[in-house]
C-alpha cells in the first residue's frame, strides 16, 4: 500500500474530521514494534537513501492540505520499538509514516494505547494493530477496496485498448460487462461494510468510496448510518447536503432535454438550402452546437470526429449547428477541423434561432437524438459520445439478436 494510495483515498473526505461530538483533547499513544529496518526503501533508485525516522501525522480532509506532524522518533537498529504520541478533540484518521514517505500505516484514534507490529521489509500485509478496533476495520476496508479498485482500473484499461484497436462490438460488449461487474462487486462490498461497521467514521469513509452507487443505494446507506448514529454531526450534514443536491438535480432534470422529443430545427446550410432536423429521423443524430470562435468547441471537435468515423456506418450521423456570424470563418473551421458531416447556421451569433429553441447559454453543447426523435443524452464531452453510442448501439444489437432467436409461434 503506497502513501499516494492512502492519501488519495482519505482526501476524498472533506468534513469527516467532525464526525464525533466535540470533546476535550484526549492523549493517545502508539507503541510501534518493528523489524527489518535495513530493508526499508530497498527498492529506491541507486543513490537515494531513506531517512531512518518515523512520524505520527494527522491526515487533513482537504484535497490540497498537507499532513500535520504530531510526533516523531528516530529508528535505531534493525529491530526495536518506540512510542509516538498525539492528542485530538475528535475521532479522526492518522498515519504512522516511515522514512521519506516510504511506508505508512493508517490508524483511527478510538483507543488510547494502540500497538503496531510492523515488518519494514514487506509492502503487503506488513502490519498488525491492537488496541484499536476501528484501525483493524480500516485495514480490512483499505485492503479490500484497493484490490477491487485494481480490478476495476485494469478492466477500464483493457476496454480502452480494445476501443483503440477497433475490436468487434461483441468483444466490446463482453469487456464492458466485465468492467460493470467489477464496479458492482466493489459497491456491494461497500454497502455490506457500511451495514456492519460499528464506527461512523468508517461508515462515512466507505460511503464516499462507492463507485457509481445508484441514488437509492446511496440514500439507503446514508439513512442507515443516520439511524444508527443520530447525533453524528457529519452524517446530519451529509443528509442535508444530499437532500439539497437532490432538489437541485430535480430542477436540472426539469430543464434537461433528455427524455423529451427534440424540438424541430430548420436552418440553412452554406449554400442557403434549409435543412430540417426531421429529415434525420430514423438515425441516431448528434446535434452539435458550436462556433469557429469557440476554443473549447474546437478542442472538442476531434472527439466528435473520432466518434463519427467509428459509428457513421452504424446508423449514426452528426448535424453541426453553428452560432457563427461570419460565413468565411465558419467554413474555414469546418475544413480545418475535418468536420465532414452536415452543417447549418443562420449566422446570427447568439440571436440564432437554435439558441432560442434549445435554450442553451454556453457552447459546446449537444444533444443525442434516437431514431424516434427523442433526446437520450446531452452535453456529451470527451469519450462520453463514443461511450454512449457504444452503449445504445450494443443494446439495440442485443435486442435484435433476442428477437431473431425467439421461437416463432406455431400456426393454429
361-372 pLDDT tens trace: 889 999 999 999
Pair type for strands 26-35 and 113-119: parallel
pLDDT tops 90 at residue 91: no
Residue 120, pLDDT score = 87
Q: Are 353 and 267 in contact (CB under 8 A)?
A: yes
* CA–CA distances in Å: residue 11 to residues 8, 16, 65, 197, 208: 5, 10, 9, 21, 10
Lowest mean pLDDT among 172-181, 212-221, 249-258: 249-258
Q: Write down the domain spans for the chain.
A: 3-131, 140-255, 266-397
pLDDT tops 80 at residue 290: yes
Element (H, E) at 361: none
> DSSP character for 200?
H
* 3-131 shares its CATH topology with 266-397: no
The more confident residue out of 35 and 23 is 35
pLDDT tops 90 at residue 56: yes
Residue with cell 478533540: 89
Q: What is the DSSP string of 239-275?
A: HHHHHHHHHHHHHHHHH--TTSBPPP-EEE-TTS-EE
Rounded Cα gap, residues 229 and 237, in angstroms: 13
pLDDT tops 60 at residue 3: no
Indicate the CATH number for domain 266-397: 3.40.30.10
At what angle are helices 169-196 and 133-165 packed, to 10 degrees?
170
Q: What is the DSSP string of 162-173?
A: HHHHT--HHHHH
Mean pLDDT of 245-257: 71
pLDDT tops 90 at residue 192: yes
pLDDT tier, 397 (very low <50, low <70, confident <90, very high otherwise)? low
- Helix, strand, coil shares, percent, the chain, to 5: 45, 20, 35
Up-side HSE of residue 254: CA atoms within 13 Å toward CB? Answer: 6
Average pLDDT over the chain, rounded to whole?
A: 84
Query: What topology does CATH give the domain 3-131?
Result: Immunoglobulin-like (2.60.40)
pLDDT tier, 252 (very low <50, low <70, confident <90, very high otherwise)? low
pLDDT tops 80 at residue 403: no
pLDDT tops 50 at residue 82: yes
Residue 50, pLDDT score = 55
Residue 253, pLDDT score = 61
pLDDT tops 60 at residue 382: yes
How many other C-beta atoms are found inside a 10 Å radius of the C-beta of residue 91? 21
Residue with cell 453524528: 232
For the chain, the maximum distance between any two Cα atoms, rounded to a whole number of angstroms, is 91
Lowest mean pLDDT among 125-129, 197-201, 287-291, 402-406: 402-406
Amino acid at each position: 500500500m503506497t502513501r499516494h494510495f492512502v492519501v488519495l483515498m482519505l482526501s476524498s473526505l472533506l468534513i469527516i474530521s467532525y464526525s464525533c461530538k466535540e470533546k476535550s483533547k484526549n492523549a493517545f499513544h502508539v507503541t510501534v514494534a518493528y523489524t527489518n529496518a535495513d530493508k526499508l526503501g530497498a527498492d529506491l533508485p541507486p543513490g537515494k537513501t531513506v531517512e531512518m525516522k518515523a512520524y505520527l501525522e494527522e491526515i487533513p480532509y482537504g484535497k490540497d492540505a498537507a499532513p500535520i506532524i504530531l510526533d516523531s522518533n528516530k529508528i535505531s537498529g534493525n529491530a526495536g520499538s518506540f512510542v509516538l504520541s498525539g492528542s485530538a478533540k475528535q475521532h479522526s484518521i492518522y498515519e504512522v509514516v516511515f522514512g521519506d514517505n516510504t511506508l505508512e500505516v493508517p490508524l483511527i484514534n478510538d483507543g488510547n494505547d494502540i500497538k503496531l507490529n510492523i515488518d519494514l521489509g514487506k509492502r503487503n500485509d506488513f502490519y498488525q494493530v491492537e488496541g484499536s478496533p476501528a484501525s483493524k476495520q480500516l485495514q480490512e476496508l483499505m485492503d479490500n477496496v484497493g484490490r477491487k479498485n485494481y480490478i476495476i482500473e485494469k478492466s477500464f484499461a483493457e476496454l480502452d485498448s480494445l476501443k483503440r484497436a477497433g475490436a468487434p462490438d461483441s468483444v466490446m460488449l463482453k469487456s464492458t460487462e466485465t468492467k460493470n461487474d467489477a464496479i458492482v462487486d466493489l459497491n456491494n462490498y461497500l454497502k455490506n461494510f457500511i451495514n456492519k461497521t460499528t464506527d461512523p467514521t468508517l461508515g462515512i469513509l466507505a460511503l464516499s468510496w462507492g463507485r457509481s452507487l445508484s441514488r437509492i443505494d446511496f440514500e439507503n446507506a446514508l439513512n442507515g448510518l443516520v439511524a444508527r448514529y443520530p447525533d453524528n454531526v457529519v452524517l446530519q450534514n451529509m443528509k442535508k447536503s444530499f437532500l439539497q443536491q437532490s432538489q437541485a438535480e430535480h430542477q436540472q432534470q426539469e430543464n434537461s432535454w433528455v427524455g423529451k422529443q427534440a424540438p424541430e430545427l430548420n436552418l440553412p446550410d452554406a449554400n442557403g438550402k434549409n435543412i430540417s432536423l426531421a429529415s434525420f429521423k430514423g438515425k441516431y443524430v448528434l446535434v452539435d452546437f458550436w462556433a469557429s470562435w469557440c476554443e473549447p468547441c474546437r478542442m472538442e471537435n476531434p472527439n466528435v470526429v473520432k466518434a463519427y468515423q467509428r459509428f457513421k456506418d452504424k446508423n449514426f450521423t452528426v448535424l453541426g449547428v453553428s452560432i457563427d456570424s461570419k460565413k468565411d470563418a465558419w467554413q474555414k473551421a469546418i475544413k480545418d477541423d475535418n468536420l465532414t458531416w452536415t452543417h447549418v447556421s443562420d449566422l446570427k451569433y447568439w440571436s440564432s434561432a437554435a439558441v432560442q429553441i434549445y435554450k442553451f447559454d454556453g457552447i459546446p453543447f449537444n444533444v443525442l437524438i434516437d431514431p424516434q426523435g427523442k433526446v437520450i443524452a446531452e452535453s456529451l464531452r470527451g469519450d462520453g459520445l463514443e461511450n454512449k453510442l457504444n452503449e445504445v448501439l450494443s443494446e439495440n444489437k442485443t435486442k435484435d439478436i433476442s428477437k431473431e432467436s425467439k421461437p416463432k409461434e406455431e400456426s393454429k
